[in-house]
Structure 1
């Protein structure tokens, strides 16, 4: 069992290993090559009766666990959206783990609450979020979106559902067919039923058609439903499609409907003034979420949730048992009232470390580099006779496919599925796919913290050779 002396010794070894890991990360296959059952088959079926040496535990980590890990921090990771880290973020996370604080209210760690408040205040002007808004740090966008939609539910029903439960309320929620699956899950969890999630038609850019949204709201009103909330995506998961926030906001204001903006990934681009247009009309919205743990170089989990009316949020979630009553209540922000969980990690610390280490200029430079690499990649695809862009790229995501002249769409789908499987099996890069208007497309996401142009060139060379 580790004691103070051995903890110090092993911790120093671990830090050296961590530094070596980042230095040599490209030596590992990006996507784990493990097969189902490989890992659990190498581990004992029952826990040890007596404690084992840390040396043995770490040996098993290296020999069994590590080969089963996909390396999200590899600069050759171009799949999904990144789940980024960075050196300052790792150090902040180490200190968070060391402090081991449960930061549910101001009293349990004043610095955690006040640093969280400061991070919200730092980000608002940088991202063109209205100064009158406030916010907090949640674990994931799924949780923040759930908080937004529950708040919308309670505000629309004068907080009656929290008190008395669902009766015959026929609440309706709206989003596009391209919106993240967390919206479907949130509507299920909050009790409205997924049948009451209305999927609105999209245009050629896969963005919500405002006229269709208003038509559906009016139809629901005529049918006795109660329009409750709209989720507008600023950067859908498949293609980074951007819904028109301004036009949707006007419709929501007209019909007294909560507007939640899901900018989980693309929201980081709001750190660049030239992309503030993405949320034009945000003053007509009620809430917005973005994930620094995706593209802003901060360890998972760290989700920033901005809200126009903090009182509605608090009224929705506050519960005050005797053991949580404090003399500072009302004078400070007790963030356990700002969402679902009571327990809260000190997530603001790593975000603070990242912003101070990179500086705003450093973050902006890195983001612009990623966008520039994506533009270069798109140019290579467009200039190749055997590849094609499937939808106009935005930011640092390029959706494309291999098309050597086949006419049959099903054959093209099979060909591209085989191509992405080959890329991932090589261990040299990791890409994922989506379907765009029925077409199977590969997604090239260029957003890992330390990615360089040489890594993008390497991926393009690999894709061409395998194709």
Structure 2
């Protein structure tokens, strides 16, 4: 490597190191700008390359105009924060740049991924199964639907559907990725049936059984139920033992989307929320949500060894998948992808850094933050607690005078909060029109003091809006 490139990398890492050091103490999570303003900040693509110094300066510009997801007041998405060990794994996976298709090109990364998969399978009670890393929880839910199709009739992968009478069932609170999966698989979005949920956001098993029985009577073929462990808005956990009994009765594949709630695996106080997970045929799990790895660190896990290869096999034998020593370790034959990043490295280094007990302590910290926020909100008459479960705390904010609809006022406060950039918290709207802050706690940088400060900022913002 030339001396100039040494200097360039030194400058790059110094820039990133300074960003990491200062990000937690910066005044704002984001400086909101319109797209046309950002377009003016960015230079045009030119015919000639630019200097290393220019690139470093442009990197600083990009960092300055991005959302600071490492900030302790970033509580907007189901991920956030920064961990040095996990980031080191991310950097290493980019530097090594293997493809996970074959063992011979990614030997130690393959062993690491399989070891993590086996550990997670054991923790879930699915020891005899298999798993693979995927490009997100949405694709894991898609893979579940494909495996359910294979389980029903393996020949469909060659012949296609002989009819369009398949049915998949999810709760009314399920992630929208199931709708996309129904489209991609050809099952059809009209055949994705939403099962009513109770006030807590949990699927109602009695309604599930009633609808399945009625569909069978009408000539439909149920092939999968998608339960949720940790819904996006309310943090609800579907009652899997009851749902599993229904799936067993009607011989239907049971998938558990634990992308968000799966973090309870690394917990003492919340582990009970995953009751019945060992009954699932397959599970979605995202380590980038509550465990602190960078995007994306997603897993598809199943109790059925061999189902992945039966679902995804096809092609590649003439140039990629050869018979050689250790070829049984190749993962490309049971992946939807060919090129696949070594995403396991960041989770491996994180887990090794803290150990299982350390990971549990980290999760317990997040759960304590959610309990603390719930108490603070409940005890303040300016707030109205809508729902609190797992790491989700949903609430509204009142004006001092009862002069405005609380839904529209809450939305005004949230939008003003975003424009000021001091904190980022999302909101949700229920079917009945109820609008509320959806405060979530995946960020390990957040402390109780930040929660108190956030609630103070929300009230101050509300007061300014009311006066204006």
TM-score of the aligned structures, taking structure 2 as reference length: 0.93
Q: Report the counterpart of residue 86 of structure 1 in structure 2.
A: 83
In 2, are the aligned partners of 1:174 and 1:231 still within 8 Å (CA)? yes
Q: Report the counterpart of residue 16 of structure 1 in structure 2.
A: 14
1:309 corresponds to 2:308? no
- Which string of whole-angstrom CA distances, capped at 9 and with x for unpartnered residues, describes residues 218-246 of structure 1? 11101111001111000011111111111
Q: Report the counterpart of residue 442 of structure 1 in structure 2.
A: 437
Q: Distance in 2 between matches of 1:359 and 1:38?
A: 45
In the TM superposition, residue 49 of structure 1 has moved relative to its aligned partner by 1.6
1:8 is paired with a residue of what secondary structure? helix
Matched residue count: 459
Q: Report the counterpart of residue 347 of structure 1 in structure 2.
A: 343
1:102-251 matches, within 5 Å, as 102-125=99-122, 127-156=123-152, 158-251=153-246
1:292 corresponds to 2:287? yes
Q: Distance in 2 between matches of 1:446 and 1:276?
A: 17
In 2, are the aligned partners of 1:370 and 1:446 still within 8 Å (CA)? yes
In 2, are the aligned partners of 1:406 and 1:412 still within 8 Å (CA)? no
Q: Which runs of 5 or more structure 1 residues have no equivalent in the other structure?
A: none
In the TM superposition, residue 138 of structure 1 has moved relative to its aligned partner by 1.3
Check 1:416–1:83 CA distance in 2 against 1; reply closer, same or farther (3 A cut).
same
2:190 is paired with a residue of what secondary structure? helix
In 2, are the aligned partners of 1:141 and 1:264 still within 8 Å (CA)? yes
In 1, are the aligned partners of 2:291 and 2:442 still within 8 Å (CA)? no
- Structural RMSD (CA): 1.9
In the TM superposition, residue 326 of structure 1 has moved relative to its aligned partner by 1.8
1:100 to 92, 97, 119: 97
1:104 is paired with a residue of what secondary structure? coil
Range that drifts further, 34-43 or 199-208: 34-43
Q: Distance in 2 between matches of 1:301 and 1:85?
A: 14
- Which string of whole-angstrom CA distances, capped at 9 and with x for unpartnered residues, describes residues 414-463 of structure 1? 10000111211221110001124521110111221222222112111111
In 2, are the aligned partners of 1:398 and 1:445 still within 8 Å (CA)? yes
Q: Distance in 2 between matches of 1:203 and 1:150?
A: 29
Range that drifts further, 191-200 or 169-178: 169-178
2:161 is paired with a residue of what secondary structure? coil
In the TM superposition, residue 67 of structure 1 has moved relative to its aligned partner by 3.7
In 2, are the aligned partners of 1:107 and 1:326 still within 8 Å (CA)? no
Q: Report the counterpart of residue 352 of structure 2 in structure 1.
A: 356
1:442 is paired with a residue of what secondary structure? strand
Check 1:85–1:306 CA distance in 2 against 1; reply closer, same or farther (3 A cut).
farther
1:311-390 matches, within 5 Å, as 311-321=306-316, 322-328=318-324, 332-390=328-386
In the TM superposition, residue 199 of structure 1 has moved relative to its aligned partner by 0.4
In 2, are the aligned partners of 1:84 and 1:293 still within 8 Å (CA)? no
Q: Report the counterpart of residue 465 of structure 1 in structure 2.
A: 460
1:231 is paired with a residue of what secondary structure? strand
Q: Distance in 1 between matches of 2:181 and 2:226?
A: 11
In the TM superposition, residue 77 of structure 1 has moved relative to its aligned partner by 0.5
In 1, are the aligned partners of 2:102 and 2:321 still within 8 Å (CA)? no
Q: Report the counterpart of residue 34 of structure 2 in structure 1.
A: 35
Check 1:406–1:200 CA distance in 2 against 1; reply closer, same or farther (3 A cut).
farther
In the TM superposition, residue 44 of structure 1 has moved relative to its aligned partner by 4.1
Check 1:33–1:222 CA distance in 2 against 1; reply closer, same or farther (3 A cut).
same
4+ residue segments displaced more than 4 Å: 404-408
2:233 is paired with a residue of what secondary structure? coil
Q: Distance in 2 between matches of 1:332 and 1:28?
A: 52
In the TM superposition, residue 169 of structure 1 has moved relative to its aligned partner by 3.6
Q: Distance in 2 between matches of 1:329 and 1:300?
A: 33
1:417 is paired with a residue of what secondary structure? helix
In 2, are the aligned partners of 1:234 and 1:262 still within 8 Å (CA)? yes
